[in-house]
Amino acid sequence: MEKIAIIGAGLIGCAWASVFARAGHTVALYDIDADAVAGARDSIKAGLVKQHAIGLITEHPDIVIARVSVTRSLEEAMRDADFVQENVRETVAAKLEIYARLDKLAGADTLIASSTSGIPASAFTENLTGRHRCFVGHPINPPSVVPLVELVPAPWTTPAVIERARAIYARAGQVPIVVNREIQGFIVNRLQGALLAEAFRLVEDGYVNSNDIDKAVKDGLGLRWSFMGPMETIDLNAPGGIRDYCGRYGPLYYDIAQQATPRQWSDALIGQLEQERLAQLPADQRPARAAWRDQRLMDLVAHKRNASDE
């Protein structure tokens, strides 16, 4: 098993520590902040206990957490690390500063992934000696429950690095996808953005309210999406497969796409959405609802693990 250095012990860093430790790796977790370092192991352990309770992990949480060490010394975290997952705050300046240090401390074959939500690796790795081994490994929060990770190379990242990273994530139980070259928002947020843009347009123009938009997804489209994507969906939705589907419905979708001019999200629309959401869920009930969501998500992932994809 490899040694994994996790840089930044916030929300995402702690979740990554859990992913790699439960896969059997030794994990060294680093943060500059004393409070983050002090609280990290308890927060990771609490997550592992929940995962254990619903069968997402079979090893006892005490055994898994024993593989995780925390430190405020970057040198110590990076010593003999085979793989680095960086999770510091989301600014170019912070990434530039930490990458200059990581590049000096990393061994020649060490891979360095950034969890960045939206900064391309080219914005903070261009001048590094080891820039060929740097790339984005973007998780969906929290990676300890949601397995998808988007691998996005910078123009100078070598294909062998992406292949090695893909294997490491897959062995740890994640589901890597490879974005062939840098694009703003990567894949997942572009797909989400397309859906939100259309949903906002439909509400703003008075065709539907936001509560019914949610039903259209959770009780309609989204039911299939948790076990098959839109490509497989349309392949199965016409007798002759995807070509047949495109022949039947392509003109309809082309018309719809032509109507979809970009719009700013106006204050009036945001106010309406806020009122509609508050009617569904008072603000003081959001934390309880978020805990309910996390539990449902873990139950769904456990169900997917047990169900056959064949």
Ligand X SMILES: NC(=O)c1ccc[n+]([C@@H]2O[C@H](COP(=O)([O-])OP(=O)(O)OC[C@H]3O[C@@H](n4cnc5c(N)ncnc54)[C@H](O)[C@@H]3O)[C@@H](O)[C@H]2O)c1
In 3D space, the residue among 52, 50, 106, 44 whose CA is nearest the CA of residue 70 turns out to be: 44
User: Can you count the helices (H) and strands (E) in the chain?
Assistant: 14, 8
Spatial contact of 76 and 129, defined as CB atoms under 8 Å apart: no
Smallest gap from Cβ 309 to ligand X, in A, equals 25
Q: Which of the residues 27 through 66 are near ligand X (CB under 6 A)?
A: 31-33, 36
What are 148's strand-pairing partners? 175
Q: Cβ closer to ligand X: 7 or 64?
A: 7
165 is an interface residue for ligand X by CB under 6 A: no
Residue 149: phi and psi, rounded to 5, are -140, 130
Smallest gap from Cβ 100 to ligand X, in A, equals 11
What are 71's strand-pairing partners? 30
DSSP helix, strand, coil percent of the chain (3-state; round to 5): 55, 10, 30
Residues of 176-195 as b/e, b for ≥16 C-beta within 10 angstroms?
A: beebeebeeebebbeeeeee
Residue from the set 2, 4, 13, 22 that interacts with ligand X by CB under 6 A: 13
Q: Cβ closer to ligand X: 117 or 272?
A: 117
Smallest gap from Cβ 78 to ligand X, in A, equals 12
Q: Which of the residues 74 through 133 are near ligand X (CB under 6 A)?
A: 87-90, 94, 97-98, 115-117
Q: Cβ closer to ligand X: 102 or 161?
A: 102
Smallest gap from Cβ 307 to ligand X, in A, equals 26
Q: Cβ closer to ligand X: 15 or 203?
A: 15
Tell me how many residues contact ligand X (CB under 6 A).
24
141 is an interface residue for ligand X by CB under 6 A: yes
137 is an interface residue for ligand X by CB under 6 A: no
The binding track of 244-283 with respect to ligand X, each residue x by CB under 6 A or -, is ----------------------------------------
Q: Cβ closer to ligand X: 140 or 234?
A: 140
Smallest gap from Cβ 92 to ligand X, in A, equals 11
145 is an interface residue for ligand X by CB under 6 A: no
Q: Cβ closer to ligand X: 135 or 203?
A: 135
The binding track of 179-198 with respect to ligand X, each residue x by CB under 6 A or -, is --------------------
Residues of 51-79 as b/e, b for ≥16 C-beta within 10 angstroms?
A: bbeeebbeeebeebbebbebbeebeebbe
Length of the chain: 310
Q: Read off the tokens for 292.
A: 């309910």
Contacts of 126 (CB under 8 A, 6+ apart): 154, 156
Q: Cβ closer to ligand X: 36 or 162?
A: 36
Q: Which residue is nearest to ligand X (CB)?
A: 10
How far out from the chain centre does Cα 105 lie?
26
Laid out side by side, the sheet with 26-30 consists of 68-71, 26-30, 3-7, 83-86, 111-114, 134-139, 148-153, 175-178
Residue from the set 4, 5, 6, 8 that interacts with ligand X by CB under 6 A: 8
Chain contacts with ligand X (rule: CB under 6 A): 7-13, 31-33, 36, 87-90, 94, 97-98, 115-117, 138-139, 141
